[in-house]
Structure 1
Amino acid sequence: MNADTALDCARIRADFSILSQEVNGRALVYLDNAATTQMPEFVLDAIVAHYHADNANVHRGIHTLSERSTAKLEAAREAVRRFLNAASADEIVFTSGTTASVNMVARAWEARLAPGSCVIVTALEHHANFVPWQQACARSGAEFFVCPLAGTGDVDLGALEARLAKGGVSMVCVAHVSNVLGCVVPVDVVARLAHAHGAAVLVDAAQSVRHERVDVREIDCDFLCFSGHKVLGPTGIGVLYGKKELLGRMEPAWYGGEMVAQVATALTTFEEPPLRFEPGTPNYVGAIGLAAALEYLEGLGRDAVAAREADLVAYAEERLRGVAGVQVVGAPARRAGCVSFTVEGAQPFDVAMLMDKLGVAVRSGSQCAQPLLDETLGISKVVRVSPAFYNTHAEIDACIEALERVVPLVSRGR
């Protein structure tokens, strides 16, 4: 089925005014959604409405505006809880993004690490779910084990289980969807394996939360992180989900007002989660915008959105494989969100720059996944195409037409 017909494409695109502009004299084709999605008018309106009518600092005042702001923040927390199917809104911590969420857990978890213990990450990880754990292990003396890939892009579950069976593993950190290969990791299987050997599991869902129906209780992960700007929301807002009993035993990573229960010269005590992990004035307007983004997605139908995006990614991969001189990177069992490629004899930066001249926005570089590219795939940089549900087959065709014009140019330049 052509997924352009599954949702009302014209109506949806009308919600995203930024998509109607021209870039370099050509209609914009925005295919960099793995980096940042665009915001619909519904989300922008929610943010503006709050500033117009209800804005005040939260949790700190008894006056009407403060109470309205606080109520909207906590309603946003409940919206995220429902979206993830968490057991309690107390399991939802607002952060500045996935990176902050992972660092928060890594800093707190470091107290559990020591020589003889181990943290497992996979070769797929974004730097945000790699470097914090690498540094925590370096400081604590724990082993930092990178689980390799099997074949052309999937996590080697056999290697994962073998390392778990050796013992000492404290935490397994895994991307739900790779931001380079787009491979979908069976995180429920990873969680089951980890728990069978006494390890906790953190899932980086930054690249999956829009493409997959993410259910933290079904996955049975201990922690899960994602960013608002990957899911139609504002920048600067993110989520850390954590099982209540684990959050309750974690020490805060940052200190300040609001997260304290009692402050005295001799001793400070802290609030219960989630407030314990939200010092200072939280990004409450960002949380309100995120809640609006989740509401928008739910209004479209999450399964319909996922099906549309799966169709677009499959179509993009098919078209890319037909372009002479282009090599699609990886062939995972299931791909979501993005397709990366190289052009024989060309620098990815040059390809992306020339495609921009033709109005097509794609991403080039290491995608913050240097261990995956350099050490596993032997490629320093790639070009990435990442459609969203508001893109169309015609835009994928326009991308391919631009690429077919660019490839001879970059080839001649060598």
Structure 2
Amino acid sequence: MIATESTAARIARTSEPTAMMDAPAPGPLARLVDAGLEVPVLGGGLVRHVNLDTAASAPALAAVAAHVVEVLPYYASVHRGTGYPSQQTTALVEAARATVARHVGARDDDLVVFTRNTTDALNLLAAAVPGDTVVLDLEHHANLLPWRAGGRRVVVARPTIAETLEVLDAELARCPAALLTVTGASNVTGEVLPVDRLATLAHAHGARLAVDAAQLLPHRRVSLEASGIDYLAFSGHKAYAPFGAGALVGRADWLDAAPAHLAGGGAVESVSLDRVAWKQGAARHEAGTPNVVGIAAIARALSELERLGDAARDGHERALTERLNSGLAAQRGVRVVRGFDDVDDRLGIATIELERGSVGLLAAALGAEHGISVRAGRFCAHPFFERVASRANGLRASLGAGSSADDVDRFLAALSRLLADGPAHAYDRGPEGWHPLVDDRPRPVF
């Protein structure tokens, strides 16, 4: 750990980071199931948990958890049952499909295919693309690895969005491609890409645009029809509905022509021992019993985000993001990772690297001694991280609808204290990373 008397150390001695004293102090925008959760810390005692790892998985909205409890008594098989619960479950799934379509501004003839998560959705799409795919190097592995089996061409992003658009334009002009696929927002830097401009660029070269919206959708409203996006993939577990479902939304023709994503019941019109007639539409790729609870949870989460309002969500996150970035700028020995020089629009995600010391040890101490959850590593975006960072790993703090100014301030104060003085307890590094040498925290009864 860095142990210098600095602005960081002085900040640690105050009840609130000095750079934040005059800033607004927003509380949580939405109630999540982990609101008020207390966690044990080393040496005894409980503290209120600060969850700054929502970019990995967000807790369920309280309204989502309540909805799941409400619908569970009616859980039954879908589309083929004649009993009342089965009919209601079928209606629930199809209503959820309509909710997803409305929320993402789908066109009338777009399909909504329910999947396990974003990774599953993009693997489904990869099997449907009738030609080469162009992808940026800044992608999460979920949008980098599925294209390896086909004609994948990787473009290294440039220091600015403007330059990156130019090299994408040149690549698509050099050799036609069927698809350009990009992240809507980086899970490393939080930088938001101009998906409408990317759609225009792709279409100008006869290609389609797919967007990995795993990070973007929980934070910003996106419309396929308004932006020109052809395919959108997202996960429920990042959008406050962690019940194991996701979705792929987009144009039907490629999906109708693609092999069924899973071979099984529900995806077929008829079967003989030597022939299968597959269904068209979403059912073609939804073989087997669907994740009814996960699908219902996604729809309820999206409806709740709509109820909160786009302006309120945007204002809440911008205030907290500014508070976080201003506080990090006051720390010595810390560098915030950036991918582009000309991006002003960022989600509430900040990844830092240290001049000296281990971010893994820092993350472990934040959790074990301060009850603050963050993440250390390369965030399943190894090529991008290795290009833009100067150290092997980074530490990421990520905000959400349940975050507050107090969360940000506690993180900044704990970070300052650890940078100045180091952890108060001994740690060891094992195969799973850093952990307390003696962990006296009790475990939950479950």
| TM-score under structure 2 length normalisation | 0.84
Structure 1 position 258 matched with structure 2 position 266: yes
Do the aligned partners of 2:365 and 2:423 also contact (CA within 8 Å) in 1?
A: no
- For residues 354-393 of structure 1, the C-alpha deviation after alignment (integer angstroms, 9 at most, x for no partner) is 1112111111111000000124444421100111122111
* SS of alignment partner, residue 202 of structure 1: strand
Q: Percent identity?
A: 33
Residue 122 of structure 1 aligns with an amino acid whose one-letter code is L
- Give the 5 Å matches for 1:181-196: 181-196=189-204
Do the aligned partners of 1:207 and 1:337 also contact (CA within 8 Å) in 2?
A: no
5+ residue gaps in structure 1?
A: none
| Rounded Cα–Cα distance in structure 2 between residues aligned with 1:281 and 1:89 | 24
Q: Name the residue aligned to 2:301.
A: 293
Q: Looking at CA atoms only, which structure, 1 or 2, has the larger radius of gyration? A: 2
Report how far residue 266 of structure 1 moved: 3.1
Q: Name the residue aligned to 2:11.
A: none
Do the aligned partners of 1:373 and 1:379 also contact (CA within 8 Å) in 2?
A: no
Q: Name the residue aligned to 2:6.
A: none
Report how far residue 235 of structure 1 moved: 3.4
Do the aligned partners of 1:191 and 1:219 also contact (CA within 8 Å) in 2?
A: yes
1:31 pairs with 41, 49, 52, which one? 52
| Rounded Cα–Cα distance in structure 2 between residues aligned with 1:96 and 1:155 | 35
Q: Name the residue aligned to 1:42.
A: 63
Do the aligned partners of 1:36 and 1:230 also contact (CA within 8 Å) in 2?
A: yes
Do the aligned partners of 2:128 and 2:254 also contact (CA within 8 Å) in 1?
A: no
Do the aligned partners of 2:268 and 2:278 also contact (CA within 8 Å) in 1?
A: yes
1:219–1:90: structure 2 CA closer, same or farther, 3 Å change rule? closer
Q: Name the residue aligned to 1:360.
A: 372
Structure 1 position 199 matched with structure 2 position 207: yes
Give the length in aligned residue pairs: 396
1:262–1:90: structure 2 CA closer, same or farther, 3 Å change rule? farther
Q: Name the residue aligned to 2:12.
A: none
Q: Name the residue aligned to 2:402.
A: 390
Report how far residue 318 of structure 1 moved: 1.1
Q: Name the residue aligned to 1:371.
A: 383
* SS of alignment partner, residue 269 of structure 2: strand
Report how far residue 172 of structure 1 moved: 0.9
Q: Name the residue aligned to 1:63.
A: 83
| Rounded Cα–Cα distance in structure 1 between residues aligned with 2:259 and 2:207 | 19
238-247 or 254-263, which deviates more:
238-247
Report how far residue 61 of structure 1 moved: 0.8
Q: Name the residue aligned to 2:318.
A: 310
Residue 96 of structure 2 aligns with an amino acid whose one-letter code is A
| TM-score under structure 1 length normalisation | 0.90
* SS of alignment partner, residue 149 of structure 1: coil
1:410–1:158: structure 2 CA closer, same or farther, 3 Å change rule? farther
Report how far residue 78 of structure 1 moved: 0.7
Q: Name the residue aligned to 1:21.
A: 38
1:127 pairs with 138, 141, 155, which one? 141
Do the aligned partners of 2:58 and 2:242 also contact (CA within 8 Å) in 1?
A: no
- For residues 325-382 of structure 1, the C-alpha deviation after alignment (integer angstroms, 9 at most, x for no partner) is 1111115332113011012112211110111121111111110000001244444211
| Rounded Cα–Cα distance in structure 2 between residues aligned with 1:108 and 1:327 | 41
Do the aligned partners of 1:19 and 1:30 also contact (CA within 8 Å) in 2?
A: no
Q: Name the residue aligned to 1:12.
A: 30
Report how far residue 306 of structure 1 moved: 2.2
| Rounded Cα–Cα distance in structure 2 between residues aligned with 1:375 and 1:99 | 23
Do the aligned partners of 1:34 and 1:179 also contact (CA within 8 Å) in 2?
A: yes
* SS of alignment partner, residue 229 of structure 1: coil
Report how far residue 90 of structure 1 moved: 5.7
Do the aligned partners of 2:256 and 2:284 also contact (CA within 8 Å) in 1?
A: no
Residue 55 of structure 2 aligns with an amino acid whose one-letter code is A
| Rounded Cα–Cα distance in structure 2 between residues aligned with 1:376 and 1:29 | 28
Report how far residue 314 of structure 1 moved: 2.0
* SS of alignment partner, residue 217 of structure 2: coil
1:355–1:59: structure 2 CA closer, same or farther, 3 Å change rule? same
| Rounded Cα–Cα distance in structure 2 between residues aligned with 1:270 and 1:407 | 59
Report how far residue 11 of structure 1 moved: 7.8
Do the aligned partners of 2:213 and 2:234 also contact (CA within 8 Å) in 1?
A: yes
Do the aligned partners of 1:167 and 1:197 also contact (CA within 8 Å) in 2?
A: no
Report how far residue 104 of structure 1 moved: 0.7
Residue 74 of structure 1 aligns with an amino acid whose one-letter code is E
Do the aligned partners of 1:338 and 1:384 also contact (CA within 8 Å) in 2?
A: yes
- For residues 277-305 of structure 1, the C-alpha deviation after alignment (integer angstroms, 9 at most, x for no partner) is 10000111110111111121111112211
Higher helix proportion:
1
* SS of alignment partner, residue 156 of structure 1: helix
Structure 1 position 160 matched with structure 2 position 168: yes
Residue 33 of structure 2 aligns with an amino acid whose one-letter code is F
Computed over aligned residues only, the root mean square deviation of the Cα atoms, in angstroms, reads 2.2
- For residues 58-113 of structure 1, the C-alpha deviation after alignment (integer angstroms, 9 at most, x for no partner) is 1121111100100001111111011011123861000000000000111222xx34
1:244–1:227: structure 2 CA closer, same or farther, 3 Å change rule? same
1:280–1:4: structure 2 CA closer, same or farther, 3 Å change rule? farther
2:115 pairs with 95, 102, 106, which one? 95
* SS of alignment partner, residue 132 of structure 1: coil
| Rounded Cα–Cα distance in structure 2 between residues aligned with 1:11 and 1:254 | 39
Residue 374 of structure 2 aligns with an amino acid whose one-letter code is V
| Rounded Cα–Cα distance in structure 2 between residues aligned with 1:243 and 1:228 | 21
